[in-house]
Amino acid sequence: MELWATGNLEARLVAVLVLTPKGVTAEELDAMVRSPGFMQVADWLDAYVVRKHPDKEPLRLAWMVDDDPWVARAAWSLTAVRVDVDSDGLDLPVLLERIETEMASVVPELQWTMNHALVAIGIHHEEHRARAMAIGEALGIYRDDPVPKGCTSPYAPAWITEMVRRHG
């Protein structure tokens, strides 16, 4: 936590790598999510600490209604993982509605994790795939982004289509 407190990019990255998710209280994690300072730090914090924290689900629920873009970004990232791994208890139509009404007006960093949730719904839930594709098409976010060879487009309709094709 002393490394995190420095605010230094490299120190925060090291802090994330040495932190034990169970060793961080929910209150400490909430404060960290609110102040990453750098996108890479937010990504690492999410991947190595938030997703493995024992209180991730209660935090996700609280964060889903928070106005702080860093916090909302973490909430949508956790939501995308929930859709991928175990979507029991998630109201997917409500999530799709939120994505449809909110995604175009939020900051790009938050759009990224909302897009991941949209794609996860489209890939893993055939009954919602057409709506997820339609939302992605209507929003058009990432439509014109260049895609490196061998990668999947971040444009939701292309991403969903490719992943469904790959996994049959």
% residues pLDDT > 70 (the chain): 100
Residues 22 and 84 in one domain: no
Q: Is 109 exposed, middle or buried (0-12, 13-18, 19+ CB in 10 A)?
A: middle
* Residue at 59 is within a domain: no
Q: What is the 3-state secondary structure (H, E, C) of 5-31?
A: HCCCHHHHHHHHHHCCHHHCCHHHHHH
Residues 41 and 103 in one domain: no
Residues 154 and 95 in one domain: yes
Distance between CA atoms of residues 80 and 87, nearest Å: 9
Residues 43 and 121 in one domain: no
% residues pLDDT > 90 (the chain): 92
Structural domains counted in the chain: 2
168: pLDDT strictly greater than 80: no
Residues 92 and 45 in one domain: no
For the segment 31-42, the average pLDDT, to the nearest whole number, is 94
Q: Look up the domain containing 145 and give its range.
A: 69-168
Residues 102 and 26 in one domain: no
For the segment 83-102, the average pLDDT, to the nearest whole number, is 96
63: pLDDT strictly greater than 90: yes
Residues 26 and 94 in one domain: no
Kindly report the pTM of this predicted structure. 0.93
For the segment 111-133, the average pLDDT, to the nearest whole number, is 97
* Residue at 63 is within a domain: no
* Residue at 29 is within a domain: yes
* Residue at 8 is within a domain: yes
129-158 confidence digits (pLDDT tens) = 999 999 999 999 999 888 888 788 899 999
* Residue at 62 is within a domain: no
Residues 76 and 122 in one domain: yes
Residues 81 and 129 in one domain: yes
3-state class percentages of the chain: helix first, strand second, coil last, to nearest 5: 70, 0, 30
Q: Is 79 helix (H, G, I), strand (E, B) or coil?
A: helix
